[in-house]
Amino acid sequence: MASRRAAIGLVAMGLSVLAWSTGGASALDYPTRPVRFVVGYPAGGATDIIARLIGQKLSERMGQQFIIENKPGAGNNIGTESVVNAAPDGYTVLLVNPANFVNASLYANLNFNFIRDIAPVASFNRVPNVMTVAPGVPAKTVAEFIAYVKDNPGKVNMASSGNGTSVHLSGELFMAMSGAQMLHVPYKGAAPAITDLLGDRVQVIFDNMPSIIGHIKGGALRALAVTTATRSPELPDVPTVAETVPGYEASALFGMGAPKKTPPEIIAKLNQAINAVLADPEVKKRLIELGGDPLISTPEAFGEMIAAETEKWEKVVKFAGLRID
């Protein structure tokens, strides 16, 4: 009987070792098939531009395609929820962006808790937003724009890439601090908002630099200010909003997240690959052109950044008196 029990114990031990080694091999071999890289906005906006840049380089480095899947709607919440509910196997990841930090306090009835339900993988970069006006707006400075809005009550429309985005909240913060009240017009992403700005159907946007800078440098749109505390090297002649509205500051943090129970070995492998991509001189040059240096970090450090951003934007949401049911 004792020898039979010993034999059963050895078989069980062998099965557990086999299960461990199979799981280890799975993480070691990851990825063995294409990875869905979910972006909560349409193609063409800042989130999409950054995701495609990083995704292409990850495809080359990891030997499997990182397929960008644009899932716009509900201020980025549709795309985020799809990742929250995806299998935690490393084959569905999320482009983390400022809306994820804002929406935690902006929306009253979310079906998920971003900090609880999404595991931080790696940060990408942090970029300014740019206060940019339509061709038909006569103002050439922030002070002139404030005067223009106050002289034309109810006639100035502020576009955004959606409710709860940093584009939206940067504008709300500007209105609260400057007293220049505008009508907020949310779009399903930056690309359609910029199209209407080019056509003078809306008058201003506080857009993430990656999606607007080409139009600014090409002369189609006019930048009045950047939203960070200091001027941007990419637009050195453009002042900060704070030079006219003291104390104003906003920026956009981007990175990658995964469903909460994704194996730590897979998260570590993704983090290592992303940090190697960010260190690539070609990628670094492109990210700087888009407005922000690469931000190399551990998953834990990115998690701390997410918590800090969520706390910062909660204060802005309360300051502006915003709430979406």
How does the average pLDDT of the chain come out, rounded?
Answer: 91
What pLDDT does 188 receive? 87
pLDDT at 70 over 60: yes
Please determine, for residue 23, whether its predicted confidence score (pLDDT) is greater than 60: no
pLDDT tens-place string over residues 239-289: 999 999 999 999 889 999 999 999 999 999 999 999 999 999 999 999 998
Level-2 CATH architecture, domain 33-126+252-320: 3-Layer(aba) Sandwich (3.40)
For the segment 19-46, the average pLDDT, to the nearest whole number, is 78
Q: Per-residue pLDDT averaged across 8-17, rounded?
A: 43
DSSP codes of every residue in 8-74: HHHHHHHHHHHHHHHHHHHHHH--SS-EEEEESS-TTSHHHHHHHHHHHHHHHHHSS-EEEEE---G
Composition of the chain by helix, strand, coil, percent to 5: 50, 20, 30
Share of the chain above pLDDT 70, in %: 92
Q: What is the pLDDT of residue 199?
A: 98
- CA–CA gap between residue 235 and residue 57 (Å, rounded): 27
For position 179, what pLDDT does the model report?
95
Q: Which helix (H) or strand (E) holds 246?
A: none
- Tell me: pLDDT of 5 over 60: no
pLDDT digits 0-9 by tens, 164-209: 788 999 999 999 999 999 999 999 889 999 999 999 999 999 999 9
Residues with Cβ within 8 Å of 285's Cβ and at least 6 positions away in sequence, in order, are none
d(CA 96, CA 270): 14
> Nearest to residue 228, comparing CAs of 94, 146, 125?
125
Return the amino acid letter for 106.
L
Give the start-to-end residue ranges of the domains of the chain.
33-126+252-320, 128-243
State the pLDDT confidence band at 162, using cuts at 50, 70 and 90: confident
Q: What is the C-alpha separation between 298 and 304, in angstroms, rounded?
A: 10
Amino acid at 196: D
**Exposed, middle or buried: residue 268 (CB in 10 Å: 0-12, 13-18, 19+)?**
middle
Fold entry, domain 128-243: D-Maltodextrin-Binding Protein; domain 2 (3.40.190)
Who's near 240: CB < 8 A, 6+ residues apart?
Answer: 225, 226, 227, 228, 229, 230, 231, 248
Would you say residue 43 has pLDDT above 50? yes
Q: Sorting pLDDT into bands at 50, 70 and 90, what band is 151?
A: very high
The reply to whether 33-126+252-320 and 128-243 are identical in fold is: yes
Q: Is the four-CA dihedral 119, 122, 126, 129 of positive or negative sign?
A: negative
Q: Tell which wins on pLDDT, 23 or 85.
A: 85
